[in-house]
Amino acid sequence: MPGFSPVKLVEVKANSKKKDFSSGAGNVANYAQSRALTITIRNGSQQPVPGVMVRWGVVKTDFRTNKTATYGKEENMDLRPLETRTLETPSVTATGKQWNYKANEGEKLLGHGVQVLIGDKVVAEEFSPPSVKPYFSNLEFVGETK
């Protein structure tokens, strides 16, 4: 990324969970996956940095509709000099059925991403895996409206 910014993306930690629920049918198991993110950013400057936006999302695909979308939020903040801030995101959940003899049905979490912007300029970003970045352009908001 060109240019220098005092605001750094220190760490993005994915808090993922998967639960399998037996349906009793023997050949199928219902499952639920969820992922929340812990995002740490830091202002490395002696000066305050106003107008910082943290844009985060979890990418989910739905096998029934062939739709892949990013569910997340944009959070605006002002950072004090040398401030480190940690954001805990709500969970995004995918549910479906896992079969022994055919393709899974339902939803699946594909990955996640975080971008840090000052104004309209991305100053830091992280995607896991990198292949989910193209889905990040259309963010469907979770929780509160932006």
Domain limits at 44? 7-141
Tokens of 99: 């079969």
| Per-residue pLDDT tens digits for 64-109 | 888 999 999 999 999 999 999 999 999 999 998 877 766 678 899 9
Question: Does residue 123 lie in a domain region?
Answer: yes
Q: In total, how many domains does the chain have?
A: 1
- pLDDT for residue 135 is more than 80: yes
Residue 59 within any structural domain of the chain: yes
* Model confidence pLDDT, tens digit, residues 17-70: 877 766 555 677 788 899 999 999 999 999 999 999 999 999 999 988 889 999
Residue 15 in any domain: the answer is yes
Is residue 1 in a domain? no
Read off the CATH number of the domain in which 68 is found: 2.60.40
Q: Is the pLDDT of residue 114 over 80?
A: yes
Q: Does residue 146 belong to any structural domain of this protein?
A: no
Q: What confidence score (pLDDT) does residue 145 get?
A: 40
Task: Give the residue carrying structure tokens 């899974």.
Answer: 104
The Cα angle at residue 129 between residues 97 and 84, in degrees rounded to 5? 115
The answer as to whether 110 is a domain residue is yes
